[in-house]
Amino acid sequence: MMRKHIFNAGPAALPLEVLEQAQQQFVEYDNLGMSLMEMSHRSKPVERMNEETQQLFMELMGLPPQYKVLFMGGGASTQFALVPLNFLKLGTVGQYILSGSFSEKAYQEAQTIGEAAVLASSKAQKWSRLPDIGNIVLGENTAYVHMTTNNTIEGSQFKVVPDTTDVPLIADMTSDILSRQRDWTKFGLIYAGAQKNLGPAGVTVAIIRDDMLAECAERIPTIFKYSTFASNQSLYNTPPVHSIYVMKLVLEWTKRQGGIEAMEKRNVQKTELLYNTIDNSGGFYRGLVDVADRSIMNVTWRMHDEELEKRFVQEAKGQGFEGLSGHRSVGGLRASAYNAVTVESCQALADFMIDFQKRNG
């Protein structure tokens, strides 16, 4: 196999080692005479695998014991609805920080369920920078503050999070969980679809603090309550066992690489290769977001005409680079350099960019 340089935004690259390990265990798991996918989710091997994956999360993130790691379904988009369903009670307001199109989707979904408001927004700037969250003022009736830590489509990322004092802070970390160190204890709830930094699509991780579990709405369907997942070790109904298993392999790989700290260093190094190429191109390539707000996961840029952008993507594809078109809503170009994307792939892309400019500049 000539493995490609995978810059897909999601589903995204997985470590080759992990794919090979998963392949080895695909037909027969752990010498048990059958595949993990054929086992009951109430069987010991699945229970053990599920619990070990939860523990790996706690360990990698250094989470204190008041947090629980849940494995749910439905992707981050389902969390957009579950958050207000569980925590937006009558007479309270969910405050949303709008920094990109996914955060706006979360806000819109909340409006279908209860009262949601915009706490800060950079929509008027077309998401070209992050909104100011330095001096936020929260009313008495605030149920929670919701934010998106990394804006996958636009290519911006919060380095600091707002101080919400005793109001729970809820974050969609789908595209940057485990990519950089953060003070996790600032959050009441963190959620992430797995298919960007954690593993294959199909499982959604929710990390929730005990006091939030006690706040889950009573009169909503059982399967929509975070507390149902928490009190059943995420085995209330059949979980996406295979996706959780591959995620476990990704977590073990992350640990072998040196954990979040090493990932962050590598992600900075990887994206600097691309940002430096953009900044040194004399305007041939132009970044889409303010330098201070740039993401160490999704790098976005444009060229001066769309035909050239198309040719860039096409030629790149011919040389083994996948997934470089910008999101259909913004156009331009995007390289998603999640944890599993190698330094070598980013170096190869930077070299290609320089060469493309020489031939077309």
Smallest distance from ligand PLP to CB 171, Å = 9
Which span sits near ligand PLP by CB under 6 A: 26-34, 87-95, 172-180, 342-350? 172-180
Tell me how far apart the alpha carbons of residues 52 and 81 are, in angstroms, rounded to a whole number: 28
Q: Are strands 204-209 and 67-72 parallel, antiparallel or unpaired?
A: antiparallel
Footprint (CB under 6 A) of ligand PLP, residues 83-142: 102
In the shown chain, the binding pattern of residues 10 to 29 toward ligand PLP, with x for contact by CB under 6 A and - for none, equals: x-------------------
The dihedral built from the CA positions of residue 337, 339, 340 and 345, taken in this order, carries a sign that is positive
Beta carbon of residue 196, minimum distance to ligand PLP (angstroms, whole number): 6
Closest approach, Cβ 53 to ligand PLP, in A, equals 18
Q: Which residues contact residue 137 at a Cβ distance below 8 angstroms, ignoring those fewer than 6 apart?
A: none
DSSP state of 285: S
**334, exposed or middle or buried, with CB in 10 Å at 0-12, 13-18, 19+?**
buried
Residue from the set 8, 54, 99, 148 that interacts with ligand PLP by CB under 6 A: 148
Cβ neighbours for 226, distance < 8 A, ≥ 6 positions apart: 70, 82, 86, 189, 206, 208, 212, 213, 216
**Sites for ligand PLP among residues 190-219 (CB under 6 A):** 193, 196
CB 295 within 8 A of CB 157: yes
Which listed range, 121-129, 167-175, 235-243, 312-320, lies at the site for ligand PLP (CB under 6 A)? 167-175
The residue range among 171-179, 260-268, 284-292, 302-310 that interacts with ligand PLP, by the rule CB under 6 A, is 171-179
Residue 23 is encoded by which pair of tokens? Answer: 């392949």
Contacting residue, 86, 156, 157, 175, with ligand PLP by CB under 6 A: 175
77 is in an annotated binding site: yes
How far is it, in rounded angstroms, from Cα 168 to Cα 235? Answer: 26
φ, ψ of residue 216 in degrees (nearest 5): -60, 135
Among 8, 95, 174, 277, binds ligand PLP (CB under 6 A): 174
Residue 281 contacts ligand PLP per CB under 6 A: no
- Rounded CA-CA distance 30/52 in Å is 15
Q: Binders of ligand PLP among 219-248, rule CB under 6 A? A: none
Examine residue 188 and tell whether it contacts ligand PLP (CB under 6 A): no
Q: How far is the CB of 137 from ligand PLP (least distance, A)?
A: 26
Binding residues: 42, 76-77, 102, 152, 172, 195, 237-238
Query: Rule CB under 6 A: which residues touch ligand PLP?
Result: 10, 75-77, 102, 148, 152, 172, 174-175, 193, 196
